[in-house]
Amino acid sequence: MMWAIVARFLLGTYTGHRDDGAPDPFPDPARLHAALVHAACQGSTALADSGGSLRPSPESLAALRWFESNPPTGIHLPESVPINGERVIAYRHEGVVRKEGAAWTDKKTQRRVADGYAFNGEIAWVWEQEPPADVRDTLDALCADVSCLGEAASPVVLEVSSAAPEQTLRLRPEASRFAAGATAVRVAEPGRVDALLTGHQKANVKRPTTAQDRPASSELPAPHPVVTTGLASAQYFPADPAPAAGPWQEVILLPVDLDVDFRDRVLWCTALHRALVSRIGFGAPSLVTGVYEPGVPRPANRLALQYLHRSLLGHLNITSDAFALMIPAGAEQEDYAALTAALANFRYLRSPAGMVQFDGTVHSVLADEFWPAPAPRTVRMWTTNPVAVAETRPQRDAVPAWTLQDAALLSVGFVLRDRWQLEPGRGLAFYRSVVEQARERGVRVQQVRAVAKRDAERYVHKLHRNTPVLTYSATFDVGEAIPPRTLSAVGQSRHLGGGLLVPVDHPEDLANALREVQG
């Protein structure tokens, strides 16, 4: 039976701060656990010892330890908005005393206020299995003794309920820390209540004497160290995630202290690909290798590796260049697990151009939420960065002639082949059918030009010996074929550093004029 602890904030607002001082958007299970520990130590269920101090009862400790071993399987979060998006500072007396000259001065210190969140409903932490009756009853009693959650400005009523609300976030214990769409949430793990009790005892060993408590020339607040033992991070995911609308569903970013010439991106991405295959070893999945058994249908896209300049990553708060590992939509969980295992403790990458060291930082982003949203009253188009490589170059005597624009449209069509449910094929007739599908679905090539041949081979990984290397730069208007925030790439080397598409936003009137010219 489902079971929940429900929080109703009496002022409709929640105020709490994370360890870096940033506003906490919602109270996590670790904060709820801490509030229950406080209630167990100071509330109606606490027991008095011989010295008059209060301590938690054995029943309370058992209930809190059950909480530690059973994090909520789901969280219900209502809609919320920041109380005040602006920085508001209050100056308060907080015990800061300084001797300035011959005078003692009671200083006022800055404190941020009005940076909590307002909720339009109740918050709930949900368990799919109800706890034992004695644990449930004890938690019910502890909830009744909790007066605030977060800071004192967040008065709350906590209640247990068998009518669990709909979950908006669900726990996935097996999820990798690389998984996109995850919300990292603090939870209490076994040993947390003992760590908090020990920390409290150390902070309250003995009261100072009058002489020891005499003010010094300067007095500053001396908060006790924050106890972090017994805290863990759990991965919670949207209860009903929307399926990926683009060719790739997730992007894993590996920041790197490197400055790669754009002509060497394929070289570095190829080195990364070989390193991943080597780290996985025997049985590396086709998702990574790109090699499929005879008779196995080849998907339109597999794992794509791109190198992104830092100028493209500022909106993600990444200040360095980064390798991007693009996971295709519909990837098997076993293949995904093999890839993420290969990334564990991945520290060095060697290529013919040198060696680079990773710092272990990893970012994961949904591919459909990679780029910033287009500005109002603009139309998003896409340009190759720097170039794409055409997959094929049919004979010149084809009738009608096969143009560079056709080759560019074919590149988009090949990426979206599975989305458009097109059967794989070969030959000029098939290529023309893919191009026609692209046009019918609103894909247009606004600008396209061939790139000088002297550097063409640096943008390609492998190509049939009888196929000349044709590199081009292009600007695409894809309509709704690719969502406006999706990271994607086109062309023959899209899986190994080529054909990256970056957004270019045009004013609506200019975009409409360009579309009229295209017809």
Whether the pLDDT of residue 464 is over 70: the answer is no
pLDDT at 323: 94
pLDDT at 283: 85
pLDDT at 381: 93
- Amino acid found at 8: R
Query: Prior bond to 25 cis, omega within 30?
Result: no
Q: Are the CB atoms for 170 and 239 separated by under 8 Å? A: yes
Q: Are the CB atoms for 142 and 35 separated by under 8 Å? A: no
Q: What is the DSSP string of 223-271?
A: PPPPP-TTEEEEEEEESSPPPP-SSEEEEEEEEES----GGGHHHHHHH
* pTM for the structure as a whole: 0.63
Beta-carbon contacts of 18 under 8 Å, excluding residues fewer than 6 positions away, are 24
Beta-carbon contacts of 82 under 8 Å, excluding residues fewer than 6 positions away, are 23, 115, 116, 117, 118
Residue 411, φ and ψ in degrees, nearest 5:
-60, -45
Q: Three-state SS for 91?
A: strand
Sorted by where each begins, the domain ranges of the chain are 3-82+116-205+227-238, 248-517
Rounded to the nearest integer, the mean pLDDT of the chain is 86
Single out the residue of 309, 313, 319, 325 nearest to residue 269, CA to CA: 325
Q: How far apart are CA 71 and CA 32, in angstroms?
A: 11
Whether the pLDDT of residue 7 is over 90: the answer is yes
Comparing 348-362, 389-403, 423-437, 488-502, the range with the smallest average pLDDT is 389-403
Torsion angle (degrees, nearest 10) of CA 283, 289, 290, 295: -20
- Summarised one tens digit per residue, pLDDT across range 371-424 is 999 988 899 999 999 899 888 876 667 778 888 999 999 999 999 998 888 888
Name the DSSP class of 482.
S
Give me Rg for the CA atoms of the chain: 29
pLDDT at 185: 92
Q: How far apart are CA 432 and CA 399, in angstroms?
A: 11
Q: Are the CB atoms for 459 and 422 separated by under 8 Å? A: no
Q: Are the CB atoms for 324 and 305 separated by under 8 Å? A: yes
- Summarised one tens digit per residue, pLDDT across range 47-97 is 988 777 899 999 999 999 999 999 999 999 998 888 865 666 777 776 666
What the block records as the tokens of 356 is 């680079």
Query: Prior bond to 386 cis, omega within 30?
Result: yes
pLDDT at 215: 66
- Summarised one tens digit per residue, pLDDT across range 188-244 is 999 999 999 998 888 877 777 787 777 666 666 667 788 889 999 998 888 766 666
Q: Are the CB atoms for 83 and 13 separated by under 8 Å? A: yes
What the block records as the tokens of 197 is 């009790």
Q: Are the CB atoms for 142 and 43 separated by under 8 Å? A: yes
Q: How far apart are CA 431 and CA 454, in angstroms?
A: 27
Ramachandran region of residue 82, left (φ > 0), alpha (ψ -120 to 50) or beta? beta
